Structures are given as C-alpha cells and as structure tokens.
C-alpha cells in the first residue's frame, strides 16, 4: 500500500484503539474530576469561556485580528491518542472567533470501542450527509475544553497576542503532527536528515536526504520523531512523511515553480514569514500561500482538484497564532479554488449555510499529552452541536435541533457511554454545550458560543442551574 493511501486511511485515528489504564482510574480517584484547577467560582464558567474566544471589541470585518480573547483548546479524547504512551504530544484544536471556518472540531469518525460515526460505501470521509447517506459532520461531537489553564498548555501564553510572540507550534489545518511527520535534524549536515517514529512505535528511524537526491531509510527503533518531544522542545514540528510498512516515505508538498509565496521557508517545514499586515482579516497576504497550494501537484492536479487531506501533506507550522488564524481563514475563503469537493462529498453554496458543514475546519496544535489528559486542567467536557444545527434559528440552536441526536449507534448516547466507559466522564462533572453558526455577515463566516441547556435522554441528564456553583453538569438517570 502506498504511503499516500496510508496517510488517507490514517485519519481513522482510532485504529489502534484506546487502552483503559489503571493509572487513569487512580487519577480520577485522586483528582478533581474535570475541574479547572481552581476551587473557587462557578463551574463551568460559561461567560469566561465565551470571553476567551470573543473577537476584540473594536474588531471589524476587515481589521482587528486576534485582539480579543486569547482562545481555548478543545480535543476529542476518543481519537486513539489520549492514552498512547508512545506519544509526548497529541493533536488539539485552538478556538477563537477570529477563525471563521465551520466544523472546527475533529469528528468522531474512526473512533473505536465502539465506532462512533457511520461508515458509507465510498469510505467514511466521503459520506455526503443528508439524503445521500450519513456524515460524521452531522452528529454531535464530545470532547473537552481547556481555557483557564492555557498557561500550562502553551508556552508564555500571557504574551501570546504580542506581535513578537514566536514560541508556539500552530498548524492552520489538520497536519498529522504527532504521527506522520519527521523532525529535521540539523546535526546531519551536509545531508538533510529527518527522524521519524510511527503512531505505535513499530516503524522508527532516519530519512537520509542528501541535497536533491532521493531519500534513503535507516531503521532505528529507538529513534524519536516530532511526536516524541514536548512542545517546549519543538514537539510536533516537522515535514510530512508517511509510514509505509517498514519505513517512512517523505511526501511533503513542494512549492510549485513560479509561486509568489513558498509553502515552507526552511528544511523544518516552517511556514513563511507573515507576508502582510497580520492585523488585517483580508489584506494580510496569506491568500498567496493558498494560490501556491492551488498550483501545487503531489498526486493531484493543479486547481480545484484536491481532496481535503491534501492539506495535511502541505501543511506548514507557524510559531504564532495570528498567522495561523489568517492562513486558516484564507484556506476557507478560497475553498472553491482548491477543493474537488469529493473528500468529503460536498455541494458548498452560499445558501443555505448548512451546506458548508462538511468542511475540515479545524486547525491542529501539538500539545503535551500528559498536561491535557489531566482532568484537573479541563474546564469542562464539551458537547459540540453540528455547524448550523437548526438552520432556521442556528444562533439559538440546542440539542433538540440535531437530527438523529438519538441515533442508537451514532447519536449522543453512545458517545457519552464511551466517555463513561473510558473514565473521562463521571456523574456530577461539569459540561458545556457549543453551538456553531453563520454570523450573519453575509460572508458565510461562522462563530461559536458556549451555553448550557436542560436535556434528558438515553439514560443521561444535563442540568442547567445558573444560580449554582456547579451550574451545568451531567448525570446518569438509570
């Protein structure tokens, strides 16, 4: 099987399963069961979470990028990575409402024990949704949100909005940063050497790439890849390379001839420096990167001929959030220039906005696995509604708007069952709901809002009690 097909299939992140560890159980007994790490104040603090993702008070349709809240991260714990001791970093998604794409949450497709999203004959990520078949994007997603403890997740978080900030690793799209990238080893000069390690550690070694010559593989099962370093050591930074049986195959998309902006600026596959005014929503220069991607070929043709997973192979990493936001937005704005609309099958139109739901709208941050899996650092378990749920009143959408919410195989209940089974959720834990909807600007820009609402079904109850310290929580009813 070719490396590229392996990349495509690897998005089913749960193929390795999720182990139930005694250490996790012990941690739950000793920990605070999903709190923010603070013993005072309401849990979850929904107003605080919304303030953390809010745009700046003076932000407009054209200006003021990332001048409001500093953001939160969300993560799907059932992606098969949470308990993988082979990894030092795992993928998370950064949320702030300066990012306008829909579906900013890794779907539960591919999860195991049991599978939590439907398969369709043409392949899970091709499912078009609606009357043509089920889609992972049409179901609620369950994850966790970290906001109040972001200083433990991102280095020097207090300074993250400063123009000089450069201490992070931020990919504007899904990037396979933990398991399908190789780390540039500058010690190997004059060769360009890259160290690699697979998801399960079964394939590890070094790609020896002498200048413009083809790379050769040297097996070393003790070798580390980007996924084996914590963020402060550059964890997750690297170039895309897919494990193919017993070796990695370098498949990072190269900058096409004549491109106005390079896709990567160095051997480590870092993004180019900001090509314009990073405070601007549109006139920031990142459209040039998308144009270079449109012109690229890497098993696909130029123009609108690319599957969504082509971005994984092309992704570069930023050292600051603002550039990531601007590139992520331009990839969404110019989606019709590059996408072949077949993976997933889509029919994007300006109206209705829910046609934009099957868009791979999440970014990727490699975050410290031990830090984010510590429930004491969670603000809450998050239940995210599909983008533009309840299309006629999406800004007030609740769980009752979700089609097939009670689906016995793919609805909310089997996901909550899995979270309880894995020890990620217990009675009385704080939860929060998230709606994602078109902001009404006429540009098909989406925004997110945390909220709570009473709900009962499938043996579970979500309780909204605004006057209590524990104001939104979950419990079983039988």
DSSP string, 201-212: SSSEEEEEE-TT
Asked if residue 254 lies in contact with residue 298, where contact means CB atoms within 8 angstroms, the answer is yes
Residue 350: predicted pLDDT:
66
- DSSP SS3 for 7: helix
The string of DSSP codes covering 330-352 is HHHHTHHHHB-SBTTB----SSS
Inter-residue contact 268 to 237 (CB < 8 Å):
yes
109 located within any domain: yes
Give the pLDDT confidence score for residue 109 in this predicted structure.
57
Which structural domain, as residue segments, surrounds residue 143?
6-175+312-476
Residue 375: the pLDDT is 96
The 10 Å CB-count burial string (b at 16+, else e) for 200-220 is: ebebbbbbbbeeeeebebeee
Within a domain: 78: yes
209 occurs within a structural domain: no
Domain count of the fold of the chain? 1
Quick one: CA torsion of 281, 282, 287, 289, rounded to 10 degrees?
-30
The contacts of residue 253 (CB under 8 Å, 6+ apart) are: 240, 263, 293, 296, 298, 310, 313, 314
Looking at residue 3, what is its pLDDT? 31
User: Three-state SS across 73-140?
Assistant: EEECCCCCCCCCCCCCEEEEEEECCCCCCCCCCCCCCCCCCCCCCCCCCCCHHHCCCHHHCCCHHHCC
Place of tokens 């609402």: 453
Q: Give the pLDDT confidence score for residue 126 in this predicted structure.
A: 55
Eight-class DSSP state of 9: H
pLDDT of residue 92: 98
Q: What whole-number distance in Å separates Cα of residue 190 and Cα of residue 251?
A: 21
Token pair, residue 471, equals 């104001």
The answer to the question of residue 206 being in a domain is: no
The C-alpha atoms of residue 71 and residue 51 are separated, in whole angstroms, by 9
Is 318 a domain residue? yes
Task: Identify whether 352 is part of a domain.
Answer: yes
Strand 380-384 and strand 431-438: the pairing is: parallel
Provide block-wise average pLDDT over 10 residues at a time, the chain (478 residues): 31 34 34 36 91 97 97 94 96 98 82 46 51 72 97 98 97 97 85 92 93 88 98 98 93 96 97 97 97 97 94 98 98 96 80 87 98 97 95 92 81 93 96 96 95 96 94 95
Task: Tell me whether residue 257 is in a domain.
Answer: no
Query: Is 240 contained in some domain?
Result: no
> How many C-beta neighbours within 10 Å does residue 31 have?
15
């Amino acid at each position: 099987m070719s490396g590229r097909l392996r990349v495509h299939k690897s998005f089913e992140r749960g193929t390795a399963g999720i182990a139930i560890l005694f250490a996790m159980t012990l941690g739950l007994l000793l920990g605070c069961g999903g709190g923010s790490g603070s013993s005072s104040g309401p849990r979850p603090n929904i107003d605080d979470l919304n303030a953390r993702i809010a745009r700046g008070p003076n932000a407009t349709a054209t200006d003021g990028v990332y001048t409001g809240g500093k953001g939160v991260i969300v993560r799907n714990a059932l992606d098969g990575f949470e308990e993988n001791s082979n990894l030092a970093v795992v993928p998370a998604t950064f949320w702030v409402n300066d990012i306008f794409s829909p579906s900013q949450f890794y779907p539960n497709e591919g999860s195991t024990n049991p599978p939590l999203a439907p398969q369709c004959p043409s392949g899970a990520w091709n499912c078009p949704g609606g009357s043509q078949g089920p889609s992972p994007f049409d179901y609620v997603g369950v994850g966790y949100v970290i906001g109040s403890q972001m200083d433990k997740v991102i280095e020097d978080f207090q300074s993250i909005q400063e123009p000089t900030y450069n201490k992070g690793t931020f990919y504007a799209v899904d990037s396979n940063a933990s398991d399908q990238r190789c780390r540039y080893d500058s010690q190997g000069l004059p060769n360009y050497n890259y160290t690699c390690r697979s998801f399960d550690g079964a394939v590890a070694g070094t790609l020896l790439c002498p200048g413009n010559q083809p790379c050769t593989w040297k097996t070393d099962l003790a070798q580390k890849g980007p996924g084996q370093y914590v963020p402060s050591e550059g964890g997750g930074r690297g170039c895309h390379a897919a494990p193919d049986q017993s070796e990695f195959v370098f498949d990072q998309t190269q900058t096409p001839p004549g491109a106005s902006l390079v896709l990567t600026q160095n051997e480590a596959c870092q993004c180019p420096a900001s090509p314009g005014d990073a405070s601007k929503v549109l006139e920031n220069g990142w459209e040039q990167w998308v144009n270079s991607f449109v012109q690229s070929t890497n098993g696909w043709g130029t123009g609108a001929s690319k599957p969504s997973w082509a971005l994984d192979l092309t992704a570069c990493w930023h050292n600051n959030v603002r550039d990531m936001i601007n590139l992520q937005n331009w990839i969404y704005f110019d989606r019709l220039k590059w996408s072949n609309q077949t993976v997933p099958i889509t029919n994007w139109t300006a109206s209705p906005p829910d046609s934009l739901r099957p868009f791979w709208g999440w970014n990727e941050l490699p975050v410290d696995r031990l830090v984010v899996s510590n429930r004491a650092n969670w603000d809450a378990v998050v239940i995210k509604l599909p983008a533009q749920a309840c299309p006629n009143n999406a800004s007030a959408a609740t769980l009752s708007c979700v089609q097939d919410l009670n689906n016995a195989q793919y609805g909310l209940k089997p996901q909550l069952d899995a979270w309880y089974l894995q020890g990620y959720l217990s009675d009385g834990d704080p939860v929060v709901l998230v709606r994602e909807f078109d902001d009404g600007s006429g540009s098909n820009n989406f925004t997110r809002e945390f909220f709570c609402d009473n709900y009962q079904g499938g043996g579970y109850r979500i309780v909204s009690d605004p006057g209590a310290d524990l104001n939104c929580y979950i419990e079983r009813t039988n």
